[in-house]
A and B are shown apart, each in its own frame.
Chain A
């Protein structure tokens, strides 16, 4: 199915807290048997990763980063899992694609169960569900209140990437990010020079679909600025 209600009680698996998360099973290549610890932690998250196109293109660009896709739809998650297993098997000789994986989760509810404060460097929101109806706006992935949770997970200087083909949603996301005191918009010059923006425009399945239909793609990127002094 194309949609999943982010408010309902899905039978989800999530750790009680970020320390309890078993990252070894997702990134076995980055687990050190000697110390019994992970050598890296996830620093890039693709929220609502869909069919995983972005993960796959980001993988060789950030070989030193662990990249996690979060997807709420079960079948889609299973598909991405299979896709990554196949890629890893086909590239077993050089260990590529060891740094990406996917998990089924509801990022709107359980992001803090997976990530420590300031853990993430980049968060991607690519072609999110537009939730056109006004009544459903709280179900959008970018809202004032959720942005505070993303700001918690992002480190200072960390970046939120958004892309959509729906102008109305683009304006909504940009407006809420602009209004949020912990984010600052990055210029279009910056966007033009950033390799992730290029990948995001071209790599995702949704992006390709829009390309085929010759639709518009709207990009907005924001940097996590430092917390102001507590009053």
Chain B
């Protein structure tokens, strides 16, 4: 059985769809004339993470050894005892041991965490779990028989990357990690920088897990960087002068999981996460313009998956927890779409571009839970990847398009997409899974803070 898509990204006109399954990126192209999807490229992350761990362990061992030597030398100098030097040197350096997880340790997944296109759509960026790297691909669709993906650079990062964005000129990729730091990586060259001392230095940092990052320009054309974290913070920082913080947007009560900067509303930002509301901000003034309470909207779609874990549950077993996974928008229509983790509902809201007010326009129930949400922004289409384990060869992704009156599911396109995936990946050993071996599709809810009592 083919594994559900973990992430999906479309280019702005909707002609290319990038899909992630486990440690594989699969690209499909929409052939308008034939009315079908065709495979356009594939990349498999074959990096063995034991080698990455081994490198880390070796480095750490070297460092510790150097530190111990330095200490020993210092002590010797301090006490001015001229010990024979053989003592230190006869100690043979042992080879680094790669730690093996013990019984009961959580499984290690090696997957592509996220994918994103450059602003000019000539590059694709992906973050890998195996060696915590940013991979930059050059895209070339000129020859349909050729794989459209060529790896240009693989930049390992010190900590697990979680979200990324690019500068307006497309020269730099800004990667936010789970340790709270943001690194700037040159997107256009092939030079890889070491992750240890004197290598990559963070351009900004939170003391919290970073969940999303976005960049836009102000009315003077100056770039501003938006970072969201698990401690309810949305921070706005100047770029490239990232040491100058402009402001924080305060009002979130739970972790923030997603940021959305529309092109059509000046100074507007949408955010959501573990709260039961979606916020609309004027980031220039720092004011909250509107917030849409979603508790009633989501009510009919909640199930056992939203019951709080047993340890945190109340006596009547009615404590419900949910989180917005993603907010996406379109280039030219003042609408946003968002979904709640482990539910089937896609909410589409109309936005007043001047006032920033959010009004629910449509609730579309999809056949299965939404795993990933994206948009083909210039073609007025939302694309949702689904957890289609129940439906087998159907419902890998759903295309929802604007028909000049409302958003409707493009049934034909969905069928074409499912058919193409089944044909392309039916016999692929990576794409298929058996039994319960499924990669984690839902990881936003686990960002909820429990306090030290439960730590």
A8 to B222 Cα, complex, angstroms: 35
The reply on A152 being an interface residue by CB < 8 A is yes
Residues of chain A within 8 A (CB-CB) of B67 are 134
Binds A, one of B3-11, B247-255, B334-342: B247-255
The reply on B205 being an interface residue by CB < 8 A is yes
Q: Which of B67, B233, B243 is packed against the most chain A CB atoms within 10 Å?
A: B243
7 residue pairs from A and B, CB less than 8 Å apart:
A17-B250, A138-B179, A144-B202, A148-B244, A182-B244, A230-B220, A231-B222
Q: Are B243 and A151 in contact (CB-based, < 8 A)?
A: yes
Q: Which of B233-249 contact A (CB under 8 A)?
A: 233, 235, 237-238, 240-245, 247-248
CB contact under 8 A between A10 and B452, given known A16-B253, A231-B222: yes
The binding surface of chain B is classed by DSSP as loop
Q: Are A11 and B231 in contact (CB-based, < 8 A)?
A: no
Q: Which residue of B lies closest to A180 (CB)?
A: B243
The reply on B300 being an interface residue by CB < 8 A is no
Closest CB in chain B relative to A117 CB, distance in Å: 7
Closest CB in chain A relative to B302 CB, distance in Å: 25
Partner of A17 from the list B237, B238, B251 (CB cut-off 8 Å) is B251
Q: Could you list which residues of chain A lie within 8 angstroms of chain B, going by C-beta atoms?
A: 6-11, 16-17, 106, 108-110, 112-113, 117, 134-135, 138, 143-149, 151-152, 180-182, 227-228, 230-231
A138 to B159 Cα, complex, angstroms: 12
CB contact under 8 A between A9 and B205, given known A16-B250, A148-B245: no
The reply on B449 being an interface residue by CB < 8 A is yes
Q: Are B251 and A147 in contact (CB-based, < 8 A)?
A: no
A182 to B238 Cα, complex, angstroms: 14
The reply on B305 being an interface residue by CB < 8 A is no
Q: Are B202 and A145 in contact (CB-based, < 8 A)?
A: yes
Interface size for chain B: under 10, 10 to 19, 20 to 34, or 35 or more residues? 35 or more
Q: Are A112 and B248 in contact (CB-based, < 8 A)?
A: yes
A112 to B205 Cα, complex, angstroms: 14
Q: Which of B185-212 contact A (CB under 8 A)?
A: 201-202, 204-208
Residues of chain A within 8 A (CB-CB) of B34 are none
Q: Which residue of B lies closest to A138 (CB)?
A: B179
Closest CB in chain A relative to B224 CB, distance in Å: 10
Residues of chain B within 8 A (CB-CB) of A6 are 207
Q: Are A181 and B207 in contact (CB-based, < 8 A)?
A: no
The reply on B453 being an interface residue by CB < 8 A is yes
Q: Are A11 and B453 in contact (CB-based, < 8 A)?
A: yes
The reply on B405 being an interface residue by CB < 8 A is no
CB contact under 8 A between A109 and B245, given known A8-B452, A144-B201, A145-B202: no
The reply on B450 being an interface residue by CB < 8 A is yes
A6 to B208 Cα, complex, angstroms: 10
Q: Are A152 and B245 in contact (CB-based, < 8 A)?
A: yes
Closest CB in chain A relative to B58 CB, distance in Å: 15
The reply on B99 being an interface residue by CB < 8 A is no
The reply on B326 being an interface residue by CB < 8 A is no
Partner of A231 from the list B202, B240, B449, B450 (CB cut-off 8 Å) is B240
A106 to B232 Cα, complex, angstroms: 14
Residues of chain B within 8 A (CB-CB) of A182 are 243-244
Residues of chain A within 8 A (CB-CB) of B245 are 148-149, 151-152
A95 to B451 Cα, complex, angstroms: 38
A228 to B222 Cα, complex, angstroms: 14
Q: Which residue of A lies closest to B247 (CB)?
A: A117
A11 to B245 Cα, complex, angstroms: 27
Q: Are B233 and A112 in contact (CB-based, < 8 A)?
A: yes
A181 to B250 Cα, complex, angstroms: 26
Q: Which residue of B lies closest to A113 (CB)?
A: B250
Q: Are B205 and A143 in contact (CB-based, < 8 A)?
A: yes
Closest CB in chain B relative to A16 CB, distance in Å: 6
Q: Are A146 and B207 in contact (CB-based, < 8 A)?
A: yes
Residues of chain B within 8 A (CB-CB) of A181 are 241, 243
Residues of chain A within 8 A (CB-CB) of B222 are 230-231
Partner of B241 from the list A16, A112, A152, A228 (CB cut-off 8 Å) is A228
Q: Are A110 and B241 in contact (CB-based, < 8 A)?
A: no
CB contact under 8 A between A230 and B455, given known A9-B449, A134-B63: no
Q: Which residue of A lies closest to B249 (CB)?
A: A17
Residues of chain A within 8 A (CB-CB) of B452 are 8-11
Closest CB in chain A relative to B340 CB, distance in Å: 23
